[in-house]
Amino acid sequence: MKASKPSGKRPKPLIPGEKLPASAGLRQRKQQATRERLKRAAMALFLEHGFETTTIDDIADAADMSRRSFFHYFASKEDVVAAWQEDAATALVTEILARPAEESMLTAAENAIAAALKRIDPTETAAMSRLKRDNPALQARDQLKYEKLERALADGLAQRSGRKSDRLKARLVAMIATGAMRVGGESWLSEGSRDKPEAFVKRTFDAIRAILA
């Protein structure tokens, strides 16, 4: 049975693995569940059949929804991939804020990235990286993703510090951490994604510390 179009605003994405609070309304929980079902159906189809050959109708059918319902949550196929990336970024910032106060900003960024990656299937991550690498439209979105991620990391690090004098340092560490994720991710993929992602994070940040020493 096809789902009717939900009403209200587009739901805020959840951190991967997070549940809506008990105080959330029934409509909000249903909208979030619908969004996640669409996203998961789309990602499975992209990874199995390719981004270009998968249609919006394919996604809606796989999620047992209408095409109209799809457009309530996502404006395009590219938006589904962007949502997957934004959820991962949200999880990363949450991990940053949870790091112990005694950790330096760089160490907090490293440990937060490693912790966030443990919550993501490495096989799916590698497949998604190849999918983005082979599609020009997704490559352009990927560049924007890293720009947004750098700003979010800087905000998270600054919030964690709580000192205005650390804002410049937070921006610099966010720039380094984002670059590490990008270069490290490309290296991990080119080496056949044999290592666990969190192990590769350690290698990447060890290299950064060796350069800065």
Tens-of-pLDDT digits for all 213 residues of the chain?
444 444 444 444 444 444 445 555 788 888 888 988 998 899 889 888 888 899 999 999 999 999 999 999 999 988 888 777 677 778 888 899 999 989 999 999 999 988 888 777 777 777 777 777 777 777 777 777 788 888 888 989 999 988 889 999 999 999 999 888 888 777 777 776 677 777 888 888 999 999 887
Q: Where are the domains of the chain?
A: 26-75, 78-212
Domain 26-75 has CATH 1.10.10.60: yes
Q: Which long-range contacts (CB under 8 A, 24 or more apart) does 123-129 make?
A: 124/43, 124/47, 125/193, 125/197, 126/188, 126/189, 126/193, 127/47, 128/43, 128/46, 128/47, 128/81, 128/84, 129/185, 129/189
Alpha-carbon span 124 to 189, nearest angstrom? 12
Residue 195 tokens, joined: 């290592």
Distance CA 29, CA 122 (A): 28
The whole-number pLDDT of residue 1 equals 41
Can you tell me the distance from the alpha carbon of 210 to that of 213, in angstroms, rounded to the nearest whole number? 5
Global confidence as pTM: 0.67
Q: Residue 71 burial by CB count (10 A; 0-12/13-18/19+): exposed, middle or buried? A: middle
- Residue 193 has what pLDDT? 66
CATH of 78-212, one of 1.10.357.10, 3.40.50.920, 1.20.140.10, 3.30.230.70: 1.10.357.10
* DSSP class of 210: H
Written as one letter, the residue type at 34 is T
Rounded CA separation 168/158 (Å): 9
